[in-house]
Amino acid sequence: MVGSRTSRLALIQTELVVAEMKRVSPGTVFTVEKIVTHGDRDRQIPLDREEAAGIFIKELEEALLEKKIDIAIHSLKDVPERITAGLCLAATTERLEPGDVLVTRGLSLAQLPPGSRIGTDSLRRSIQLLRQRKDLEVHSLRGNVDTRVGKVVQGELDGIILAAAGLIRLGLQDRISQYLPIDDFLPAPGQGALAIEIRQDDCQVYQLVSQVNHLPTWQSVTAERALLTALGVDCDVPIAALGRVTDGWLTLTGMVASRDGNVLLQRKAEGDAREAGRVGERLARMMLESGASELIAGLRRK
């Protein structure tokens, strides 16, 4: 039994992972259980607040612990750094495009007129956007991808910033006006990756799902999440990180900024991808030595 959130995107992502599991275990029958999460019910909680951590996965984890499901599929960026006791992340399928995109009525970021209204649910994206275009207006935005895109189509907003992977998986590539440069819009840790969570003691299920694990993706997100752990933060704090693996070599970039965006700290570390966790820890030390603690403390102040 596989658990999924009920949104169209979540169900598509779950079916993608199920297809991979069927490929390696064609004799296994998979049934998808749709589960409504707190984050789906309450769209008023700001996603950059501490109380937002885990709001898209809590009910799925409860179903795992109660053995109502055996596998939960998540967008990895929604999974807090601290995994619930008794559960574990067992695999990640191959990561899709990890960056952010701009959806407008045909204009690029540089072409948008001053005062244009841009929607996002992310303080990280807001900070990065205003560092590029201080003359734009940022508007809070929640809802599923179709709802957000509709606000641009209907003229309620002049543009929105979303994860590229979500639009691609929904087949909405034609809505993308611009792929935002990674150097200016470093993504959230885990963005673009799908995570498979199981009960920690379920060896049979682990043997199945481990066969679909994409090692370079696993190493990249391991480094990103190790960075969060070593910085002492979770996905409710607007930290950006992206790991990339080429020929067994991992490059990890991390970013934290002040709430007003006037101070931005970005650093990079490299190392053997087999030691991904250590690369993340080393980058955290570099960032802390450069003043990350003060920036993080400022971000947490309401």
Q: What CATH code is carried by the domain that includes residue 251?
A: 3.30.160.40
Under 8 Å between Cβ of 227 and 285: no
Is residue 173 domain-shared with residue 200, that is, in the same domain? Answer: no
Is residue 208 domain-shared with residue 80, that is, in the same domain? Answer: yes
Is residue 151 domain-shared with residue 299, that is, in the same domain? Answer: no
Q: Is residue 185 part of a domain?
A: no
Ordered DSSP codes for 16-84: HHHHHHHHH-TT----EEE---HHHH---S-TTSGGGTTTTTHHHHHHHHTTS-SEEEEEGGGS-SSPP
| C-alpha dihedral sign at 85, 253, 284, 299 | negative
Q: Is residue 186 part of a domain?
A: no
Under 8 Å between Cβ of 263 and 295: yes
Give the CATH number, domain containing residue 87: 3.40.190.10
| Domain containing residue 244 | 215-302
Whole-number pLDDT of residue 48? 53
Q: Is residue 283 part of a domain?
A: yes
Report the Cα 86 to chain-centroid distance in Å: 23
Is residue 301 domain-shared with residue 226, that is, in the same domain? Answer: yes
Q: At what angle do helices 292-300 and 276-289 cross, to 10 degrees?
A: 90
pLDDT digits (tens, 9 = 90+) for 230-270: 998 865 567 899 999 999 999 999 999 888 888 899 999 99
**Sites in the chain below the pLDDT cut of 50:** 47, 49-52
pTM exceeds 0.85 = yes
| Catalytic residue selected from 48, 78, 100, 202 | 78
Whole-number pLDDT of residue 258? 86
Is residue 84 domain-shared with residue 169, that is, in the same domain? Answer: no
Q: Is residue 32 part of a domain?
A: yes
Is residue 146 domain-shared with residue 63, that is, in the same domain? Answer: no
Q: Is residue 223 part of a domain?
A: yes
Alpha-carbon distance of 236 to 21, in angstroms, equals: 31
| Catalytic residue check, 100 | no
Is residue 253 domain-shared with residue 121, that is, in the same domain? Answer: no
- Enter the DSSP assignment of 172: -
E-strand stretches of the chain: 2-4, 32-34, 71-75, 87-92, 100-104, 117-120, 137-140, 159-163, 178-179, 194-199, 240-246, 249-257, 264-272
Q: Is residue 187 part of a domain?
A: no
Q: Is residue 184 part of a domain?
A: no
CA atoms within a 13 Å half-sphere pointing along the CA-CB vector of 119: 21
Is residue 118 domain-shared with residue 145, that is, in the same domain? Answer: yes
Domain tally for the chain?
3
Is residue 203 domain-shared with residue 60, that is, in the same domain? Answer: yes
